[in-house]
Structure 1
Amino acid sequence: MDAWEWIPETPASWDERKAAVLAGLSPALFGLGHPGVGDPLGDEWWRVQDGSGETVAYGRLDESWGDAEILVLVRPDAQRSGVGSFVLSRLELEAARRGLNYIYNVVPDGHPDPEQVTGWLAAHGFVRNDVGELRKQLPLTTAPASR
């Protein structure tokens, strides 16, 4: 495992690093539209850099109504290195800190490897619901008792 750094990028904007991680896939495939360099992106974003300072992955958290849709993007040459699991665990922590109930992901139509992504999420505790979301319940957190 490399030493990965989790770097907040909120407010986030579209840049060459994000395009490089997508490796030619359209951002629209992931619900990001067709941004140009410098265009703002909604939601909360984090960049993951490896020990050499290279951007290898991104995580996104889109919170609404007590749940959050997540997006895990890993540069193709960094896949199967554990960095995706690192991103997922960090997104889970971020969502739990906010007291959210579930995190979920929808593998989009047109994804180049939907079975692999669906299997990876299932291996990490996500379960498909009746509307096609892959959901994972977050552990209940208890707020400190008030005095």
Structure 2
Amino acid sequence: MDTWAWVAETPASWDDRKRQVLGGLDPALFGLGRPESGDPLGDEWWRVEDGAGRTLGYGRLDGSWGDAEILVLVRPDARGGGVGAFVLAHLETEAGRRRLHYIYNVVPHGHPDPEQVTEWLAGHGFVRNDVGELRKQVPAGVVQNSG
């Protein structure tokens, strides 16, 4: 693993880095609509940068309902190298700082590889509930382990 940075984007807006990380997928697939460059994005966003300043991925946290829906995005050429786990660990820390109890994700209909994403989330402790969300309790003590 390179030295990766977790960079808050406040406020977040749509840009070419996000478009590249999506790797040709439609932003609407992830509930982002069809933004134009510079359009503001809701929720809280962070990006992962390598030591050369290249954007490898993004994490989004929507904690507006007491728990937090998350989004983990990894640049296609960086997948399989631990970037997603890095994003997920940091999102758990962010949720812990906000004293949220659960983080969850819904794999959207039309996702090009829903089985792989579902298996990846399950491998990181997420469990499917009766409404199709993949949920994980925010671990106790995650705030103390933040980085």
Q: After TM superposition, give the deviation of residue 90 of structure 1 in Å.
A: 0.1
- For residues 25-36 of structure 1, the aligned pairs below 5 Å read 25-36=25-36
* TM-score after normalising by structure 1: 0.94
Residue 90 (structure 1) aligned with residue 105 (structure 2): no
CA distance in 1, matches of 2:8, 2:14: 14
- For residues 8-87 of structure 1, the aligned pairs below 5 Å read 8-87=8-87
Unaligned runs of 5+ in 1: 142-147
What is the aligned partner in structure 1 of residue 138 from structure 2? Answer: 138
Q: Paired residues, what number?
A: 142
Taking only the aligned residue pairs, the percentage that are identical comes to 76
| Structure with higher strand content | 1
Report SS of the residue matched to 1:25.
coil
Q: After TM superposition, give the deviation of residue 2 of structure 1 in Å.
A: 1.4
* TM-score after normalising by structure 2: 0.94
Q: Give the alignment's Cα RMSD to 1 decimal.
A: 1.2
Q: Which has the larger radius of gyration?
A: 1
CA distance in 2, matches of 1:109, 1:66: 25
What is the aligned partner in structure 1 of residue 106 from structure 2? Answer: 106
Give runs of ≥4 in structure 1 deviating > 6 Å. none
Unaligned runs of 5+ in 2: 142-147
Q: After TM superposition, give the deviation of residue 66 of structure 1 in Å.
A: 1.6
Q: After TM superposition, give the deviation of residue 140 of structure 1 in Å.
A: 3.6
